[in-house]
Homo-oligomer: A and B are copies of this chain.
Amino acid sequence: MNVLLVYAHPEPRSLNGSLRRFAVKRLEEAGHVVQVSDLYAMHWKASLDADDSIDRQPDARFDPALDSKHAFENGLQSEDIALEQQKLKWADAVILQFPLWWFSMPAILKGWVERVYAYGFAYGVGEHSDTHWGDRYGEGAMAGKRAMLIVSTGGWESHYSARGINGPIDDVLFPIQHGVLYYPGFDVLPPFVIHRTSRIDETRFSTICDALGQRLDNLWTTPPLAFRSQNAGAYDIPQLTLKDDIAPGQVGFAVHRA
């Protein structure tokens, strides 16, 4: 199988750097082919702007969505964007690995999503009708592929528990797992989260590697998170609200998992 690891940490001699090397080795030893997009090493351009198209009229008004669509459809995307899209097409599984900074992904990785997820590629695809509101949330270009997060946090596990002050980790990651990964069609596996990264000695590092190794060994068999498919009957269209008889009376991110 083909695995794309998108990696966003500025220091190779970090916990994340060590885990990345471990993950690549483990996957390769299992016979998989791995490509790594090491965003800091690539000097990835984080900010989406008019220069993402190669034929821009200098005085034209820039529309982030429509210009993205025009460039994608006409082969006018900046080369770095087109290359990452090729990697996504090539991959059977995609892993995003990053430290949780201010309760989300690092800016450099956010900018990878914004620039690589072109209009017509990762969104704005499929018909819009009374029964189908675009190929998204369970359908789309990434359908049939798997995705997983590897995330490190400085905070304690309890701080991210159901009643922890930072919010439950499932909710903190929902905009990424549901909004960035499930949206274009990925089957999203449970995240691999490492907490309290400032307190990791050799014993704990070894335990973490064992657990991560098992997750990588089971990349093709682990059941994905049971997000609800948008166009399969659970939602009223076009309001896109969950139908009254599903999880009745409940609200919040959690209702979107069966």
Stretch at the interface among A20-28, A43-51, A142-150, A208-216: A43-51
Q: Does A113 touch B at the CB level, under 8 Å?
A: yes
Given known pairs A46-B46, A156-B239, the reply for A256 and B101 (CB within 8 Å) is: no
- What number of A residues sit within 8 Å (CB to CB) of B? 65
Q: Does A11 touch B at the CB level, under 8 Å?
A: yes
Bound together, the chains give a CA A165 to CA B156 distance in angstroms of 30
Flag if B252 contacts A171 (CB, 8 Å). Answer: yes
Residue numbers in B under 8 Å from A101 (CB-CB): 48, 64, 114
Residue numbers in B under 8 Å from A65 (CB-CB): 154
Flag if A171 contacts B40 (CB, 8 Å). Answer: no
**Chain B proximity of A100: nearest CB distance (Å):** 10
Q: Does A191 touch B at the CB level, under 8 Å?
A: no
Flag if B175 contacts A172 (CB, 8 Å). Answer: yes
Residue numbers in B under 8 Å from A241 (CB-CB): 158-159, 161, 163-165
Which residues of chain A from 94 to 115 have a CB within 8 Å of any chain B CB? 99, 101-108, 110-111, 113-114
Write out, one digit per residue, whether chain A residues 69-110 have a CB within 8 A of any chain B CB (1) or not (0): 000000000000000000000000000000101111111101
Flag if B158 contacts A239 (CB, 8 Å). Answer: yes
Tell me which of A50, A65, A111, A156 has the highest count of chain B C-beta atoms within 10 A of its own C-beta: A111
Flag if B11 contacts A61 (CB, 8 Å). Answer: yes
Flag if B106 contacts A104 (CB, 8 Å). Answer: no
Flag if A168 contacts B252 (CB, 8 Å). Answer: yes
Contact partner of A102 (CB less than 8 A), chosen from B110, B163, B235, B240, is B110
Q: Does A53 touch B at the CB level, under 8 Å?
A: no
Q: Does A62 touch B at the CB level, under 8 Å?
A: yes
Q: Does A166 touch B at the CB level, under 8 Å?
A: yes
Write out, one digit per residue, whether chain A residues 170-207 have a CB within 8 A of any chain B CB (1) or not (0): 01101110111000000000000000000000000000
What 4 A-B pairs are tightest by C-beta distance, nearest first? A107-B111, A103-B179, A46-B46, A103-B175
Tell me the A residues contacting B by CB distance below 8 Å. 10-11, 13-14, 40, 44, 46-50, 61-65, 99, 101-108, 110-111, 113-114, 117, 137, 154, 156, 158-159, 161-168, 171-172, 174-176, 178-180, 230, 235, 238-242, 250-256
**Known pairs A11-B62, A158-B240. 8 more at Cβ < 8 A?**
A11-B61, A44-B47, A47-B111, A108-B111, A110-B110, A156-B238, A156-B239, A171-B252
